[in-house]
Structure 1
Amino acid sequence: MTPETAGQGLVDRVPAGAVGSLIGMQTPPTANRHDTVREHHGDAVVDPYAWLENAENSETIDYLKAENAYTESMTEHLKPLRESIFDEIKRRTQETDLSVPVRKGDWWTYNRTMEGKQYPIHCRVKANGDTPPELSENGSPLPGEEIVLDQNVLAEGHDFFSLGVYDFSVDGNVLAYGVDFAGNERFTLRFRDLRTGDDLSDSVLGVFYGGAWSADGEYFFYSTVDDAWRPHQVWRHRLGSSEDDVLVFEETDERFWCGVELSRSEKYLFCESHSKITSEVRFLAADDPTGEFVLFGHGRRTGIELSIDHQGDRFIVLHNEDAPNFVLGYTPVTDTTAFTELVPHRDDTRLESVAAFDGYLAVSLRRNGLTGIRIVDNAGAGHDLAFDEVLYSVSPMFGPEYHATSLRLSYQSMVSPDSVYDYDIAGRELLLRKQKAVLGGYDPAAYQQHRLWATASDGTQVPISIVARADVAADGSAPCLLYGYGSYETSIDPYFSIPRLSLLDRGVVYAIAHVRGGGEMGRHWYEDGKLLNKKNTFTDFVSCADHMVESGWSAPDKLVARGGSAGGLLMGAVANLAPSRFAGICAQVPFVDSLNTILDPTKPLTVIEWDEWGDPLHDADVYAYMKSYAPYENVADVAYPPILSVTSLNDTRVGFHEPAKWTARLRHDAQGGPFLLKTEMEAGHGGRSGRYDAWHEEAFNLAWTLDLYGLRE
């Protein structure tokens, strides 16, 4: 396609009575078909829009800009609604605010936001006792505040900004931090001397997230990525030295990624390698940074996952050997092959993570679709924390202070705003430190939340979390937005959202379908929604959509689906599987060209992903299975609902070309729509970076959704 042909081509075929406003509809851009044929397992795959994968091609950029112009013209009538929603988010948010301070050595550290500023300001104050400093209601600075890092200053002159590494040296004198101005998640590592406030001359390009200091603060360990965006090397940098950084570990197996971290006790460095199904850990005394990392336990064994932390004379270990939902125990530091069990395996409880403190262990777990926390003393005795709401999410915040006698935790539900508590271990009491302010007189009692269970096609009971205004009745009259993800054992737990209130207050029901492929119901829930079981994720979502209608919480012409990334794959799959079930589909950074991506080992993360989706390049059965559900491959000449795809040019996780190709094929091969593509030209996987920019982006998505319901005010 050339700039001259942008805007020429087929008009969307919209059936009579299609949901959504088509006023002011213009001719959409057409992506020229240039058939590329790829041979796999005797099958000739025709890809007519492969040319859109080239971001260096000016024709591709021109096409994306033409799509943006078309989307803007098609949503021009929604500008007042977008502005109203943005104003609602802004009015409900306490823009000048402070996070609850966290103890780090001799300092209390926290973040501060200021009205009109896009990004947080990182601060600290000297500690005076163990009690966090009192916070003001208006978010004003704390007495004696020291500004460590102002992201707004770093972001000046850039359309995008993201902070990666953010790590204090053990003595608190130096800060390591990483900056990204493109959205490609490749950071420049810098160091700031906090005694002077000046940056040192040290600078390292192409650094990934995470890192670790040596005990003496002389060395910093970091990881870098290869051309496939796989963290594959760990390096040692000597502060202030002109010497080349030293490669201390390289992961040569393309299925694995690696990283490095310092134990909470600050006694050991851990160098970890992980694939989707296997883990390996090496450790090194933090006061011997130039020494050699030692392999933990029995080393790498396919299918065995583990994580470790340090406590006293032992390593705390969480692993899944003969324990699908994981078991917790420890090994002596002197013999890491000798395992003693502390918390046994249970079929109904998934142990997810553990943090070791001087006097106790904090275990994050989930049971029956809800999260939980167990406190385990050093002898192995434990108790679970209890909460009253029918739906909630709770997680340890895992503060850095090893000798803490209380546990900092985060709690929220679909009606209760984010809250920070300190749990006193000895007294077993929760102390509320702060609940997120929701301005404008928010009343949780004005809303209702429920847990429903849908019956999947194979009889499996699938949980659904819903929230609605208290006066909304389950009589089939309410519009509904149904969200789903369902991959990587990632759980979409009940959470509070200020932007969501703009839906609820207009009478919309919001629901989360906890489909298989996620981790909500334990490891088996994940296993039943991956590889050659992947289609369960899609059919579960359709069953949840049907249940929302059958239970009276929505109707087919008022049910909109939404998902992002791997959840965008879910959106593409259900669009093909059951297009008539939905009044619209919002797909964010959607993984819709999944077969072509997973077939190409040169693309970012592909080989790593084979343990999640299967290897269609070398396995004909996997190829046939993926081809049968891949959204881009299965667009049909039937009526689809309106579809909005949102992507970012610099996304390294899901390429912008995936929704671009999918939208082009929908326009050419399918009926219905309209099919809209919106590309952020200066952003990455998470979209626009500043909070106000992010609010505008969300206001766009919500306005598009409300328009489908006929709610335009």
Structure 2
Amino acid sequence: MTTGLDWANLFIYRKITMKKFKFTLISTALFAVLGCQEAPQQNQVEAQTQAQQQVAVAAPIAEKVPHKVMIHGQEFTDNYHWLRDDTRSNEKVLGHLNQENAYADSKLDATKQLQQTLFEEIKNKVVKDDRSVPTLNGSYYYFTATEGDKEYFTYFRSEHKDGKNAEAIFDANTRAEGQNYYGVGALQISSNENLLAFAEDTLSRRIYTIQVKDLTTGKLLEDKIEGTSGSVVWANDNKTLYYIKKDPVTLLGFQVFRHTLGTPQSDDELVYEETDNSYFTNISKSKDKSTIYIHHGSTESSGVSLISADDAKAKPERFIPREAGHEYSINKLGDWFYVHTNKDAINFKLMRVKATDVKDRSKWQTVVEHNPDAKLESIALFNQHLVYETRENGLTQITVSNLDNSKSKRLTFNDPAYTAYLTGNKNIDTDSVRIGYQSMTTPASVFDVNLETLDKTLLKQNKVLGDFNPENYKSERIFITARDGIKVPVSIVYRKDKFKQDGSNPLLQYGYGSYGLNVEPTFSISRLSLLDRGFVYAIAHIRGSETLGRPWYEDGKKLNKKNTFNDFIDVTKALVEQKYGDASRIYARGGSAGGLLMGAVINQAPTLYDGVHAAVPFVDVINTMLDESLPLTTNEYDEWGNPNDKTYFDYMLSYSPYDQVKAQAYPNLLVTTGLHDSQVQYFEPAKWVAKLRDLKTDDNLLLFKTDMEAGHSGASGRFKGIHDIALSYSYFIALAENKI
């Protein structure tokens, strides 16, 4: 279930011990209470206090400590390498981060009331007591529910479709008590439906501990499996668990273990070990529960190994040999495997083959042909039907096909920009497919669609409390021509009575543009607070995503990466020219790889934006991609290129935000990170901000805030995260209104 808050899960691993360090100021109130100091001493104390307060609000200037390295025969100096502390315990580093926090807080003091107003505004639009649509899986219908001001979900199951007489099987609120951060990984029910395996992260490093609850007694078993990726799958004997162990240095999940209940983790059997560190490893189970899948995924290649779920001693077997450049996934239906593959099909196609003929490619049959103009994205299989998603001209289409006669029908949608997706289809024997649907003006909705007639039954549409009326808002979808002639799709939303296409509205543009990930035109409760204040919100579907198919992604990575940045800038310029936004009040926001986008954009076009928010930004591209000990480095060479190759090194160096900071004016800039971030380490933005402070020639704001308890996804909990949104939006609103 989603509240549509549009922030968390932007964007993972090692358990670390952080020595708490607090930046404190002596207040004049303290000395006033003492009251026994002589006047000269009082004056001296007041002078000291004022000096300390001035230090607190002065922009922190990081010390320069040259760190020299030779790369490709050239010497490079990194003056801020000292800000890297893998233990998160160095008091000098923590002190600098806390000074940055104090400085940012002082500069944002004028927005405190606005932040609180936005927090209450957004929170008051969220339904407090809510639940998701029950989904049938085995003998029970499962759903999540929220209650009052509780931050986390409670998980339920019921024997009834409407969820009546439900039993609470897992309460994340109880489990989260006393934790500064709490995240739930997998929740998996055993085949006999009596045991629940669950994974928890309490440090925001996405390192999970797996435990097991006996649902017949409500008690936890003694088993505790630590250092995992959070994925867990049951064998069919109800006593064997498969999980993934993480490398303690790179934090990649690379080993699949088999655990028997009642035995220590040290006795667990290693089933599979990934020796190629360019691959991720994941596990799942076939819909018919017969087979456990080990998924091998890299940026440009993938594969699957199979283990019988009925044999607790089974060894994994490759479905087919892995090949460089071949990406595929599989679904099982009876004696057939359906293979979603890019073999001779850049936009993917769907094949099928009998389990006995998998190794004989001549016996593979085409089910859905390759379409060079539409990417085949995902499928759902049922006894008599195949349902598949394609992305055509940037929008998702859903097709229902009869397996007996191959006759197909397509669902239709009305919004100019929307997202539709398959969700909760756990059972093979059913007469309907469940889909999710939302747009920038339509809250998230869940439908059951009859597989024969395509009649839709609305099961739920998320409510928005207060005076929300979708008719007050309008979304558009336009195409903007980039500098090389490519047309870039853009999704736009605004409040009708606040918008005049005369170049007078403030505009916030969002982008990502990496890994082939698409930023969907979804509904957002929090975004309403911007639209209601006259902001236009635009999503630039730039190259590096797969919005226009796989070639759109290929044209925005490695040696084509600059297309991503150029697209974003060209979209902004065109939106100004077409008077969607006020040229003096244009803002941009991006996180993680979208933070790299922000860094590259402001180096290239620093005067185009009045303000930018770079969240958990990947900005130190060269140093990160040269350090194989860091998480996510080696398995991202196919995304960014390998800088050990000078061709890639030179290209990456030419856009790396940290390396390209120069003496020029920059826009107002808010940078946010989490101390425990394991995807983009905190020291990347810390170094970037330090270098910007040293070189920038303007007097604009440069604010850096580190959440000392959070990781890559920010604060946990459905309401705690709203504070992060309120901070970001208050920053943009205050800039637009000249309040800071």
Superposition TM-score, scaled by structure 1 size:
0.93
Q: Quick check: 1:560–1:585 contact (8 Å CA) kept in 2? A: yes
The aligned counterpart of 2:108 is: 75
The amino acid of 2:91's aligned partner reads: S
Q: 1:448-501: CA deviations, max 9, x gaps?
A: 100121111111000110000012111100000000000000000100000000
Shift of 1:239: 1.9
The aligned counterpart of 1:530 is: 557
Partner amino acid for 1:371?
T
Deviates more, 1:355-364 or 1:532-541: 355-364
Match of 1:209 in 2: 230
Correspondence for 1:59: 92
On the 8 A contact 1:265/1:357 being kept in 2, the answer is no
Specify the alignment match of 1:16 in structure 2. none
Q: Deviations over 1:152-185 (max 9, x none)?
A: 1001001100001211112221111011110000
Residue in structure 1 matched with residue 188 of structure 2 by the alignment? 167
1: CA distance between counterparts of 2:22 and 2:295? 52
Q: 1:250-288, CA deviations, whole angstroms, 9 ceiling, x for partnerless residues?
A: 000111111211011111111121111111211122212
Q: Encode CA deviations 1:511-565: one digit per residue, 9 max, x unaligned.
A: 0000000110000000000000000000000000001101110122111000000
Is 1:702 aligned to 2:729, yes or no? Answer: yes
Distance in 1 of aligned mates of 2:544 and 2:103: 35
DSSP-derived class of the 1:631 partner:
coil
Q: Do the aligned residues in 2 keep the contact of 1:283 with 1:295 (CA within 8 Å)?
A: yes
Contact 2:232/2:241 (8 A) holds in 1: yes
Alignment match of 1:276 (pick from 299, 316, 319) = 299
Residue in structure 1 matched with residue 221 of structure 2 by the alignment: 200
Aligned pairs for 1:87-126 within 5 A: 87-126=120-159
Query: 644-653 or 393-402, which moves further after superposition?
Result: 393-402
The 1:417/1:643 distance shift into structure 2, 3 A limit, reads same
- Residue 306 of structure 1: which of 320, 328, 347 is its match? 328
Correspondence for 2:318 among 275, 295, 309: 295
C-alpha distance in 2 between matches for 1:218 and 1:670:
61
1:194-593 equivalence runs, <5 A:
194-226=215-247, 227-242=249-264, 244-297=267-320, 299-337=321-359, 338-379=363-404, 380-471=406-497, 472-593=499-620
Moved more, 328-337 or 380-389: 380-389
- Measured at CA, do residues 401 and 31 of structure 1 come closer, stay the same or move farther in structure 2, by a change above 3 Å? same
Q: Provide closer, same or farther for how the CA distance between residues 588 and 190 of structure 1 changes in structure 2, counting only shifts above 3 A.
A: same
Conserved 8 A contact 1:616-1:623: yes
Worse-matched range after superposition: 377-386 or 106-115: 377-386
Shift of 1:242: 4.4
Match of residue 175, structure 2, among 135, 150, 154: 154
Residues 327-380 of structure 1, C-alpha deviation per residue, up to 9 Å, x if partnerless?
Answer: 101111112133111000001110112232333222222110111222233244
Task: Provide the aligned length of Structure 1 versus Structure 2.
Answer: 682
Which residue of structure 2 lines up, in the alignment, with residue 27 of structure 1? 58
**Residue pair 2:57, 2:102 contacting (<8 A) in 1 also:** no
CA shift, 1:382, in A, is 2.6
Runs of 5+ unmatched residues, structure 2: 1-20, 26-53
- Distance (whole Å) between structure 2 residues aligned to residue 165 and residue 225 of structure 1: 15
| Cα distance in structure 1, aligned partners of 2:283 and 2:662 | 47
Percent of aligned pairs sharing the same letter? 39
Counterpart of 1:73, as a letter, is S
Task: Give the AA of the match of 1:252.
Answer: T
The CA deviation string for residues 95-114 of structure 1, in whole angstroms up to 9 with x for no partner, is: 11111111111111110101
Q: AA paired with 1:415? A: T
Give the SS at the match of 2:58: coil
TM-fit CA distance, 1:115? 1.1
Q: Aligned equivalents of 1:585 and 1:615: distance in 2?
A: 29
Which AA in structure 2 matches 1:628?
S
Could you list the per-position Cα deviations for residues 665-694 of structure 1 after superposition, in whole angstroms to 9, with x for gaps in the alignment? 110011223111111111111000011110
Hey, what's the Cα distance between the residues in 2 that align with 1:598 and 1:308?
32
Contact 1:592-1:658 at 8 Å conserved across structures = yes
Q: Which runs of 4+ in 1 moved over 6 A?
A: 3-7
Equivalence for 1:14: none
Alignment check: 8 A CA contact 1:234 1:249 kept: yes
1:10 alignment partner in structure 2? none
Q: Secondary structure at the match of 2:654?
A: helix
Deviation of the 1:398 alpha carbon: 3.8
> Are the equivalent residues in 1 in contact too, given 2:545–2:553 (CA < 8 A)?
yes
Aligned equivalents of 2:194 and 2:451: distance in 1?
31
Provide the rounded CA distance (Å) in 1 between the counterparts of 2:319 and 2:609.
50
What is the deviation of 1:4?
Answer: 13
Structure 2 CA distance for partners of 1:112 and 1:711, relative to 1, 3 Å: farther
Distance 2:207 2:726 in 1: 28
CA deviation map 1:550-594 (0-9, x unaligned): 111012211100000000000000010001110111001000111
Superposed, 1:662-673 pairs within 5 Å as 662-672=688-698, 673=700
Helix, strand or coil: the match of 1:651?
coil
Are the equivalent residues in 2 in contact too, given 1:112–1:122 (CA < 8 A)? yes
Output the CA distance in 1 between the equivalents of 2:713 and 2:261: 32
Distance 1:5 1:640 in 2: 28
Partner-residue secondary structure (3-state), 1:639:
coil
Aligned residue identity for 1:349:
A
For normalisation by structure 2, the TM-score amounts to: 0.90
Match of 1:604 among 610, 613, 631: 631
Q: Which of residues 659, 662, 671 in structure 2 aligns to 1:633? A: 659
Q: Distance in 2 between matches of 1:109 and 1:446?
A: 35
Equivalent pair of 1:105/1:171 in contact (CA under 8 Å): no
